[in-house]
Amino acid sequence: MDLWRRTVLPAVAAVVATAALSACANGGGLRVEGPESPPPDTPTPTVAFGTGSTSPHPGRTPEVAVDLYKVRAALLADPRLGRYPRSVLSNCTVISRCLSRGKTVDVLHSGTPQQIILIHTLEKFVFGIFLIAVEPSGPRPVWILDVEQPTVNASPQGDLVVESKIWTIDDPVCCPSGRRVEVYRWNGRQMIKVSSTDQ
């Protein structure tokens, strides 16, 4: 009996104490936030460049997931980047707070996909888009457009259709009453606006 008290009772007490303490925990643990750094070996999107045969569905552009850290670096190296987007990207240490991926398109008609990238505030207010060519050497900025709260799609003809919100003088900040639809087309050297309609 003496041996049982010395060996079994302390073990039972330890199990009961551990169970009691774990029942009090909220499961949240310690959360530490700081600058986000890119993963050491970020994989590159798997795309067969220039073949035009990467999609299992003919006529549909294959999806890609371009590396946003590399996009940020390429944009900051681009002299066409405006002052405000440059300031946002320079100070953006957590990439998901300032850049996000839009649709994958092939508006260059190259057979190699391009990625629409949105630049936004921390509150997800989008104030610009970038057309990024996904190339073996890395992402290459093709085109930059300053536009507020856009919806971007490729048309069946392969043009880029950008729908954005527009505010009239009486509109509150929350609620723009109009919209603008612009169509852009690649002419072999650059994106050109072929139409613009306000509604």
For the segment 113-126, the average pLDDT, to the nearest whole number, is 93
Residue 169 is predicted with a pLDDT of: 86
Residue 52, in any domain of the structure: no
Q: Supply the mean pLDDT for the chain.
A: 77
Residue 93 is predicted with a pLDDT of: 87
For the segment 124-137, the average pLDDT, to the nearest whole number, is 93
Percent of the chain at pLDDT exceeding 70 = 68
Per DSSP, helices labelled H in 77-196 are 83-90
Higher-confidence position of 6 and 156? 156
Residues 39 and 95 sit within 8 Å (Cβ to Cβ): no
Each residue of 63-111: pLDDT tens digit? 667 899 999 999 999 999 999 999 999 999 899 999 999 999 999 998 8
Residue 58, in any domain of the structure: no
pTM (2 decimals)?
Answer: 0.68
Residue 196 is predicted with a pLDDT of: 95
How many domains does the chain contain in total?
1
Q: Phi and psi for 84 in degrees, rounded to 5?
A: -70, -50
Residue 191, in any domain of the structure: yes
Residue 30, in any domain of the structure: no
- What is each CA distance from 64 to 55, 135, 175, 178, in whole angstroms? 11, 11, 33, 32
Residue 169, in any domain of the structure: yes
Residue 62, in any domain of the structure: no
Residue 6, in any domain of the structure: no
Residue 171, in any domain of the structure: yes
As a whole number of angstroms, the distance between CA 190 and CA 68 comes to: 23
For the segment 42-58, the average pLDDT, to the nearest whole number, is 37
Give me the domain span that covers residue 154. 68-198
Q: Phi and psi for 85 in degrees, rounded to 5?
A: -60, -35
Name the region of 188 (left: φ>0; alpha: ψ -120 to 50; beta: rest). Answer: left
Who's near 155: CB < 8 A, 6+ residues apart?
A: 161, 183
Higher-confidence position of 15 and 175? 175
Residue 146 is predicted with a pLDDT of: 93
